[in-house]
């Protein structure tokens, strides 16, 4: 159902893009808009991942430079039956992560240093499983196309101001105003709706990959509690990439409404709790108690994946 909804939203955005071209310049304007959209999407298909990683100053790591983090991603990729993605670290104290790439064979996952220092080993695994679920569902390409179309629609809205509808505009002033104001607004709403739809699907897919829904639930609670207090300057300079992160890196977006790039964290945790109950009902041995996301656990600052005072942590496939 999520896939159908996403396809419908993308189709609506494409139709909206062509409609703006028609409002600006009639049939000729619609064809020009279609050509622009095709060119932008082609460029994004091949280069968007590199652009996003460069925007956030991500540095590629390997088994020698980040052995534990790289090992988590490698073993999760094996469990998900995915090719090994490139692994990147972002020097930023805000705990967060994202995935990018046009397909599973050319994917990359990135996490901030703040994520590694503030979350446990299991919570990091839950987050990276979520990002690999995005890769497996090919959400990274979907998000790129959506963002590109949304940006192109806004660009055409700006053109409408200069053309002022033109002689070929069938609706005159009304068409110009619709192209300038309503169309970019509608595109932004669709972009956010696509993002929220895919986040729920990736939460479920990530929980299935790592086998422990509560690992991701606990990670989401910690990230949501820390991220708003820590400024992510690269994200603030590039807000169009906010929807790619596991938790919105920008401020002022806490509601699960039309203008939120992410679902409310409480709703995501509730869905993961329900999934944990489903795992328990199946009697599967993957159902091992994880950290409670409602507990206010002290943050560990002794390096990545501090062991919480020496307490035994749940075993996982990477133990």
Quick one: how far is CA 11 from the chain centroid?
A: 20
Q: How far apart are CA 42 and CA 47, in angstroms?
A: 9
Q: Name the one residue in this structure whose structure tokens are 């992410």.
A: 262
Q: Name the one residue in this structure whose structure tokens are 């988590």.
A: 72
The 8 Å CB, 24+ separation contacts for 41-46 are 41/145, 41/148, 41/149, 44/144, 44/145, 44/147, 44/148, 45/102, 45/141, 45/144, 46/102
- DSSP count for the chain of H helices, then E strands: 10, 4
Q: Which of 63, 68, 123, 131 is catalytic?
A: 131
- Euclidean distance between the first and final Cα of the chain, in Å? 36
134 is in an annotated binding site: yes
Does the annotation mark 105 as catalytic?
Answer: no
Which are the contacts of 162, defined by CB distance < 8 A and separation ≥ 6? none
Burial of residue 231, with CB atoms counted within 10 A of its CB: 0-12 exposed, 13-18 middle, 19 or more buried: middle
Nearest to 270 by CA among 216, 233, 232, 313: 216
Q: Looking at the annotation, which residues are catalytic?
A: 131
The binding site consists of 130, 134, 199
Binding-site sequence positions for Zn(2+): 130, 134, 199
């Amino acid at each position: 159902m999520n896939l159908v909804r996403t396809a419908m939203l993308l189709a609506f955005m494409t139709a909206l893009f062509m409609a703006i071209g028609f409002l600006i310049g009639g049939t000729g304007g619609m064809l020009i808009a279609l050509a622009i959209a095709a060119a932008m999407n082609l460029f994004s298909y091949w280069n968007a991942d590199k652009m996003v990683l460069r925007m956030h100053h991500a540095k590629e790591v390997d088994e020698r430079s980040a052995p534990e983090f790289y090992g988590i991603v490698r073993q999760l990729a094996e469990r998900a039956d995915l090719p090994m993605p490139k692994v990147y670290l972002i020097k930023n104290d805000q705990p967060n992560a994202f995935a990018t790439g046009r397909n599973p064979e050319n994917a990359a996952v990135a996490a901030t240093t703040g994520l590694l220092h503030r979350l446990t080993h299991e919570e990091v695994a839950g987050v990276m499983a979520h990002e690999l679920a995005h890769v497996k569902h090919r959400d990274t390409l979907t998000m790129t196309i959506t963002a590109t179309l949304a940006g192109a629609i806004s660009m055409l809205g700006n053109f409408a101001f200069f053309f002022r509808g033109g002689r070929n505009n069938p609706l005159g002033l009304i068409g110009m105003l619709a192209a300038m104001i309503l169309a970019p607004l509608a595109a932004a709403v669709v972009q956010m709706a696509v993002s929220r739809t895919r986040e729920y699907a990736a939460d479920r897919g990530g929980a299935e990959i790592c086998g422990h829904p509560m690992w991701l639930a606990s990670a989401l609670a910690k990230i949501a509690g820390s991220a708003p207090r820590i400024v992510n300057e690269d994200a603030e300079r590039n807000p169009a990439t906010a929807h790619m992160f596991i938790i919105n890196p920008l401020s002022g977006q806490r509601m699960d409404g039309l203008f939120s790039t992410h679902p409310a964290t409480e709703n995501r945790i509730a869905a993961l709790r329900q999934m944990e109950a489903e795992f328990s009902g199946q009697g599967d041995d993957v159902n091992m108690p994880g950290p409670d996301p409602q507990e206010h656990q002290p943050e560990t600052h002794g390096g990545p994946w501090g062991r919480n005072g020496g307490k035994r942590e749940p075993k996982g496939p990477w133990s």
